Structure 1
Amino acid sequence: MMRIFFIVLLWFITFSSFATSIKQIVSIETGTGKLEGTLLTPDDVKDSKIVALIIAGSGPTDRDGNNPSMTNNSLKMLADELAKVGISSLRYDKRGIGKSKSSGLKEIDLRFDNYIDDASHWVEYLNNLSRFNKIVVIGHSEGSLIGMVVSQQKDVDKFISIAGSGQPIDQTIREQLAAQPPVVIEQSTPILDKLLQGETVENVPEFLNSLFRPSVQPYMISWFKYDPQKEISKLNKPVLIIQGSTDIQVGLMDADKLAAANKKADKVVIKEMNHIFKEATLDKQANYQTYNQPDLPIKPELVKVISEFILN
């Protein structure tokens, strides 16, 4: 019995010696509830002083990059891989999601600025930890725009946009609706115009209610106020723009627009990387299949590009 115990103990010690990171569950109070996240720190780099705040994209997305309809672990994989090269990270469940569920607001009360404030509070949290002296913000998709605004504060040293939109969201919506039957764009254009002016619309056609329902209009109004090109142009610090060549949600043109708005920014296009950092073709069905493949690794080029930018 003692021999078996010794073998198990030896296995545990050996396994632990190969651990690549130390995971710590952390939280902050928002005034409307608690936000919870994971602080991942390399255990073999004692003098690591750099930490990346990872901001998730749109929708009910958790700290790992997942939501109720898909599991891909994209943000978890990114954090794990960064830890292997000596970079700490903090990723968190968005308000109303996962362990941050208690901070959820009613849809009619939610504003885009709530997400900006949340990320700002996390920057403040990291800034108060004596172990770090540099903070890098990594924003994915919608999180890119949030990250641009948050990175304007002095406590942020560098900013990284991954698959960030290069134009205001109302323009993107108009482009997407233009591919629908003419009646859709005819009925939606006046609504978008009013929302852009900060006015809500009471009578929404039933077939457009899922997009323009009254309870979501205040959020859209607050979101429309932000232009990614204007926000990224305000950053007088190192900026990296990353775009995947097979991203069928955000295009190469978006990365070009962001890079044109900030002439000092570095732009990198990663071949055959889709919106969730996985290798994929431009075939829509095959591309979207990767969104529910949690064991499919992220593109190694992504980690290489990010780590070189952060560490140099």
Structure 2
Amino acid sequence: MTARAHAQAEPVNYVSVLTKFKQFYNNNQVDSIFSMFSPEMKAALPLSNFKPTTEQLKAQYGNLLKTEFIKYGESLAVYKATFKNSIFLLNVSLNPQNKLTGLLLGPYQESAVAKPAVDPSITESPVLLKTFSGQISGTLAMPNNTSGKVPVVLIVGDAGPTDRDGNNEKSGLTANIYKLLAEELGKNGIASLRYDKRNVGQSVSSTKESQLRIDDYSDDAGSLINMLNDDQRFSKIIVFGHGEGALVSMIAIIDRPAKGYIAAESASEQGDKVLMDQMKSKPKYQQDEFKAILDSLKKGKTTDKVDPSLYFIARPAIQNFLMSVCRLVPTRGMKAMKIPALIIQGTTDLNVAVDNAEKLKKAKSDAQMLIIKGMNHILKDAPADEDKNIDTYTNPDLPLSAGLVPGMVDFINKVK
């Protein structure tokens, strides 16, 4: 499920060009990259110079594993480019004909938001979990001034390239929501583990974007549950899933030793309906094309030719993931759940309406439901006005909604 765009979204034409560039580069098709150049760039950087330089780059740094959008302005897009053997800043500029007029690699340094200060109420330590396809990197926050075993909450992030702190450079989300949650839980004597999703931040995987399924994310969360269960410092494991993370968590807890489940801002409907709802504000021709793509996915078929305006939600590389999501119905998962559950929903969430929480509650009658007035999708107080609501997405200093953590703590303490 894609989050609503905000704060300098990546232009769709750049998504298409970067996808082609990565494909050509990794397949050693330097001539094809050169064909993407504007006439001016071809004159400034002839193929005879570009080809050996690119081949040397490939030999030294290996394949381009992923590109992560950072910012855009004045026809220049900046990306974090992760190669097999190094990380660079990649600057890309296009002309009106979508031909490359600039392509420059530079040194990369982590942004300030990636290393926020640690709250004195907790002690943080790095966690690294080896998986079949790579490794998951996270942060364990242990409460200070406690003795004996403590509860631990596994925080499972929302859709897209969301990092351990709840930030998403590609969409401009810099609100530190999971970092803030870890701090508040720590103040209440509760440990937490938050982590970078697969192929985000310091979590790496050999799984390509086109190969990803929602089960891959749930396998990662499930492996972390098992790891926490083996740690004698913890009395019980609670899994907290935010947005799409609630669906990931719902799968992850099956036949694993979690004692409680918390769903925050979770959709209740089948994936295809949720995705179509997100397209309601788009032009009708985009809605119609997207519906045709979804209809094909429900039949097990992908669509190779996609309008660039739909790349943010249905580019060919993520269609297999969408297919895996569209087969799942959250209310069915809730109905089959055997452990205690808490459903949290804010009234000013622009992505997920309150009736989703009500439907999830109906599916599991013994679940607790917490409706928080004035809380938005990123768990912070915000008005219903769209622009003012979205402003909170780039404010890491804004605290979490006041009713959130007390409701979670009460539920966690009551779970046996």
TM-score, normalised relative to structure 2 = 0.68
SS at match of 1:218: helix
Please give the alpha-carbon distance, in whole angstroms, between the structure 2 residues aligned to 1:158 and 1:273: 23
Tell me, which stretches of 5 or more residues in structure 1 are unaligned?
1-17
Query: Is 1:213 aligned with 2:277?
Result: no
Change (3 A) 1:122 1:251: same
Partner in structure 2 of residue 145 of structure 1: 247
Q: What displacement does 1:260 show?
A: 1.2
Partner in structure 2 of residue 67 of structure 1: 168
Provide runs of 4+ in structure 1 moved above 6 Å. Answer: none
Tell me, which stretches of 5 or more residues in structure 2 are unaligned?
1-118
Deviations 1:86-141 (CA, angstroms, capped at 9, x unpaired): 111111011111111x2263211211111010000100110111111311000000
Please give the alpha-carbon distance, in whole angstroms, between the structure 2 residues aligned to 1:177 and 1:130: 46
Identity, % of aligned positions: 38
Aligned 1:172-251 pairs, distance under 5 A:
172-251=274-353
Q: Whose relative contact order is higher, 1 or 2, with alpha carbons under 8 Å and at least 6 apart?
A: 1
Change (3 A) 1:178 1:19: closer
Query: Is 1:19 aligned with 2:143?
Result: no
Q: What displacement does 1:205 show?
A: 4.0
> Which residue of 174, 188, 213 corresponds with 1:85?
188
Q: What displacement does 1:202 show?
A: 3.2
Native 8 Å contact 2:185 2:191 kept in 1: yes
> Which residue of 270, 273, 279 corresponds with 1:171?
273
Native 8 Å contact 2:226 2:256 kept in 1: no
Deviations 1:235-294 (CA, angstroms, capped at 9, x unpaired): 111100000111111110111111111111111101111111111100111110010001
103-112 or 302-311, which deviates more: 103-112
Change (3 A) 1:271 1:223: same
Native 8 Å contact 2:278 2:351 kept in 1: no
Please give the alpha-carbon distance, in whole angstroms, between the structure 2 residues aligned to 1:179 and 1:76: 32
Q: What displacement does 1:206 show?
A: 4.7
> Which residue of 159, 162, 187 corresponds with 1:58?
159
Which residue identity lines up with residue 44 of structure 1 in the other structure? N
Deviations 1:18-43 (CA, angstroms, capped at 9, x unpaired): 93122111110112211111111112
Which residue identity lines up with residue 125 of structure 1 in the other structure? M
Native 8 Å contact 2:154 2:238 kept in 1: yes
Native 8 Å contact 2:157 2:244 kept in 1: yes
TM-score, normalised relative to structure 1 = 0.90
Q: How many residues align?
A: 294
Which residue identity lines up with residue 371 of structure 2 in the other structure? V
Partner in structure 2 of residue 311 of structure 1: 413
Which residue identity lines up with residue 159 of structure 1 in the other structure? Y
Greater CA radius of gyration, 1 or 2?
Answer: 2
Identify, as 1 or 2, the structure richer in helix. Answer: 1
